[in-house]
Amino acid sequence: MKNVEKFIRPTNISELLEARAKEENNILLAGGTSLIFSKDASVRTIIDMSEVNELKNIEFSDGKLKLGAMVTMTQLRHRSDLPVAIRNAALSVASTPIRNVVTVGGEVMRGVYWNDLPVALMALDAVAVFASTTGERAMPLEEVFSLHPTKTIRPDEVLTRVELTDYMRPAAFHKFSKTATDYAIASIAFSARSFEGSTVREPKVVVGAVTPLPRRLNDVERLLSEKGESALEELETLFSGFKTRPDFRVSAEYQRNLMIVGIRRLFRAARDGGEE
């Protein structure tokens, strides 16, 4: 970043996409809280997205919930019409002065283990919308995180929004950490199409922090689909060989146990309205 020569601040999406396509060795600045630590000496231009007001909207349209890339965690946290899982994930991000500037776009595209929001978004089948001067393309968040997000986005693209369709389905999120503002030891999100008695339809379980990037737990989902709530007592076998991201704060055994306990709690929280 020491070799940056140019700082530009587009005021609408088309100016933003033009700059992204044309400016030499550019980097996008959303909230900026991680960019400050960048040691990338190749960056020549910073494209500051803070004046692109079209990206700051939370919209309900076409049957979808659309979260603009520049929507902050503080905005999400205070919107009572949003899913509880999303609001809780937004509140889990660091502290107030950081939530005031951290954005949806930054949380998704940064791709570090402690990003909380993508865990909740992925459990709700969120889709990322990338735009460039040639048009838009949509990609499920699960696919965005199949590689590092900086590899799934093309160099001329910008993440403009995240879209969710069945966003009011039962869902819950929890960040496990040593203090409220510390990085997650484990972030866990759970959602389901519906609960009927002790059975559950289309459960989605996503974990973060115990893995380098958010990851769906397909084996757990399958077991829950087959056996319903009773599967919660059989989770140990599924996690015995689970390879976790090394974390100096806790052991792998602790991480695995946290996932088991967390999934049990969040299954019940999602069924009972989202709050634990």
Binding region for other proteins (CB under 8 A):
1-7, 9, 29, 32-33, 35-38, 43, 46, 48, 50, 94-98, 100-101, 180-181
Least distance between other proteins and beta carbon 163 (Å): 26
Q: Considering beta carbons, is residue 66 or 99 the nearer one to other proteins?
A: 99
Please identify, using beta-carbon distances, which residue of 95 and 133 lies nearer to other proteins. Answer: 95
In whole angstroms, how close is the CB of 265 to other proteins at the nearest point?
22
Distance between CA 171 and CA 266 in Å, rounded?
8
- DSSP string over 44-86: -EEEE-TT-GGGG-EEEETTEEEEETT-BHHHHHT-TTS-HHH
Shortest CB 137 distance to other proteins, Å: 29
> Which among 120, 64, 69 is positioned nearest to 266, based on CA atoms?
120
Q: How far is the CB of 103 from other proteins (least distance, A)?
A: 12
Q: How many CA atoms lie within 13 A of 173 on its CB side?
A: 29
How far apart are CB 194 and other proteins at their closest, in Å?
32
CB-nearer residue toward other proteins: 1 or 58? 1
Q: Is 111 left (phi over 0), alpha (psi -120 to 50) or beta?
A: left
| Closer CB to other proteins, 91 or 259, in the complex | 91
Pair 177, 166: CB distance under 8 Å? no
Shorter beta-carbon distance to other proteins: residue 36 or 62: 36
Largest CA distance in the chain: 61
Q: Which CB atom, from 32 or from 212, has the smaller least distance to other proteins?
A: 32
Shortest Å, Cβ 96 to other proteins: 5
* 274 exposure class (CB count in 10 Å sphere: 0-12, 13-18, 19+): buried
CB of 211 to other proteins, least distance (A): 23
| Residue number with CB closer to other proteins (36 or 61) | 36
Q: Cα–Cα distances in Å, from 70 out to 56, 191, 224, 271?
A: 5, 25, 36, 31
Burial class (CB in 10 A: 0-12, 13-18, 19+), 141: buried
Provide the β-strand partners of residue 28: 47
